[in-house]
Amino acid sequence: MSLSRNVLAAVVAAASLLAAGSARANVYIRVAPPAPRHEVIIERDRPGPHHVWVPGYWNWNGTEYVWAGGRWDLPPRHHSRWVPGHYRHHRRHGYYWTPGHWR
Protein backbone atom coordinates (compact mmCIF):
# COMPACT_ATOMS: atom_id res chain seq x y z
CA MET A 1 0.00 0.00 0.00
CA SER A 2 2.85 2.41 0.82
CA LEU A 3 4.53 1.67 -2.51
CA SER A 4 1.37 2.52 -4.44
CA ARG A 5 1.10 5.85 -2.56
CA ASN A 6 4.72 6.62 -3.47
CA VAL A 7 4.06 5.78 -7.10
CA LEU A 8 0.93 7.92 -7.08
CA ALA A 9 2.85 10.81 -5.49
CA ALA A 10 5.56 10.51 -8.17
CA VAL A 11 2.97 10.53 -10.95
CA VAL A 12 1.24 13.59 -9.49
CA ALA A 13 4.60 15.39 -9.12
CA ALA A 14 5.56 14.59 -12.72
CA ALA A 15 2.17 15.75 -14.00
CA SER A 16 2.44 19.02 -12.12
CA LEU A 17 5.92 19.62 -13.56
CA LEU A 18 4.58 19.03 -17.05
CA ALA A 19 1.62 21.29 -16.44
CA ALA A 20 3.89 24.05 -15.15
CA GLY A 21 6.06 23.83 -18.26
CA SER A 22 9.18 22.88 -16.32
CA ALA A 23 9.65 19.76 -18.39
CA ARG A 24 8.49 19.37 -21.96
CA ALA A 25 9.31 17.10 -24.82
CA ASN A 26 9.99 18.57 -28.24
CA VAL A 27 7.54 17.67 -30.97
CA TYR A 28 9.46 17.45 -34.23
CA ILE A 29 7.83 18.44 -37.50
CA ARG A 30 9.35 17.48 -40.85
CA VAL A 31 7.72 20.35 -42.76
CA ALA A 32 9.16 23.86 -42.33
CA PRO A 33 6.74 26.46 -40.96
CA PRO A 34 5.40 29.08 -43.37
CA ALA A 35 6.71 32.62 -43.21
CA PRO A 36 5.09 34.68 -40.44
CA ARG A 37 1.99 36.58 -41.44
CA HIS A 38 2.02 40.35 -41.50
CA GLU A 39 -0.35 41.49 -38.76
CA VAL A 40 -1.86 44.95 -38.67
CA ILE A 41 -1.55 46.28 -35.14
CA ILE A 42 -4.30 48.77 -34.36
CA GLU A 43 -3.07 51.03 -31.60
CA ARG A 44 -6.56 52.23 -30.66
CA ASP A 45 -7.46 48.61 -29.76
CA ARG A 46 -4.76 48.57 -27.06
CA PRO A 47 -6.57 47.88 -23.76
CA GLY A 48 -4.26 50.13 -21.75
CA PRO A 49 -1.03 52.14 -21.95
CA HIS A 50 1.10 49.34 -20.47
CA HIS A 51 -0.13 46.55 -22.77
CA VAL A 52 2.37 45.12 -25.26
CA TRP A 53 1.68 43.49 -28.62
CA VAL A 54 2.56 39.78 -28.59
CA PRO A 55 2.89 38.69 -32.24
CA GLY A 56 1.11 35.70 -33.72
CA TYR A 57 2.81 32.47 -34.77
CA TRP A 58 2.24 29.29 -36.74
CA ASN A 59 1.01 26.51 -34.46
CA TRP A 60 1.36 22.85 -35.46
CA ASN A 61 -1.94 21.05 -34.73
CA GLY A 62 -0.62 17.56 -35.49
CA THR A 63 -1.55 17.69 -39.17
CA GLU A 64 -0.82 21.20 -40.43
CA TYR A 65 0.28 24.67 -39.39
CA VAL A 66 -2.55 26.93 -38.18
CA TRP A 67 -2.07 30.66 -37.57
CA ALA A 68 -2.53 31.79 -33.95
CA GLY A 69 -3.11 35.54 -34.17
CA GLY A 70 -1.28 38.08 -32.06
CA ARG A 71 -2.78 39.73 -29.00
CA TRP A 72 -2.34 42.58 -26.54
CA ASP A 73 -0.88 41.35 -23.25
CA LEU A 74 0.04 42.97 -19.96
CA PRO A 75 3.66 42.29 -18.91
CA PRO A 76 4.08 40.60 -15.53
CA ARG A 77 6.58 43.28 -14.39
CA HIS A 78 7.20 46.90 -15.37
CA HIS A 79 10.44 46.36 -17.35
CA SER A 80 9.54 42.96 -18.84
CA ARG A 81 9.90 42.42 -22.54
CA TRP A 82 8.37 39.73 -24.75
CA VAL A 83 10.75 37.25 -26.36
CA PRO A 84 8.84 35.83 -29.36
CA GLY A 85 8.52 32.10 -29.84
CA HIS A 86 10.27 30.57 -32.83
CA TYR A 87 10.88 27.31 -34.63
CA ARG A 88 14.32 25.76 -34.45
CA HIS A 89 15.64 23.19 -36.86
CA HIS A 90 17.31 19.97 -35.80
CA ARG A 91 19.32 18.51 -38.64
CA ARG A 92 18.03 14.94 -38.30
CA HIS A 93 14.61 15.34 -36.70
CA GLY A 94 13.03 18.44 -38.19
CA TYR A 95 11.58 21.61 -36.70
CA TYR A 96 10.47 22.16 -33.13
CA TRP A 97 8.77 25.05 -31.37
CA THR A 98 10.39 27.15 -28.67
CA PRO A 99 7.56 29.08 -26.95
CA GLY A 100 7.61 32.82 -26.41
CA HIS A 101 8.04 34.14 -22.88
CA TRP A 102 8.45 37.26 -20.78
CA ARG A 103 11.97 38.22 -19.79
pLDDT digits (tens, 9 = 90+) for 23-78: 578 999 999 999 999 999 999 999 999 999 999 999 999 999 999 999 999 999 99
Domain parsing of the chain, residue ranges: 28-102
Q: Model's pTM, two decimal places?
A: 0.71
Helix, coil or strand: residue 60: strand
pLDDT digits (tens, 9 = 90+) for 40-54: 999 999 999 999 999
What average pLDDT does range 72-99 have in this prediction? 96
Report angle CA 93, 20, 89 to the nearest 5 degrees: 20
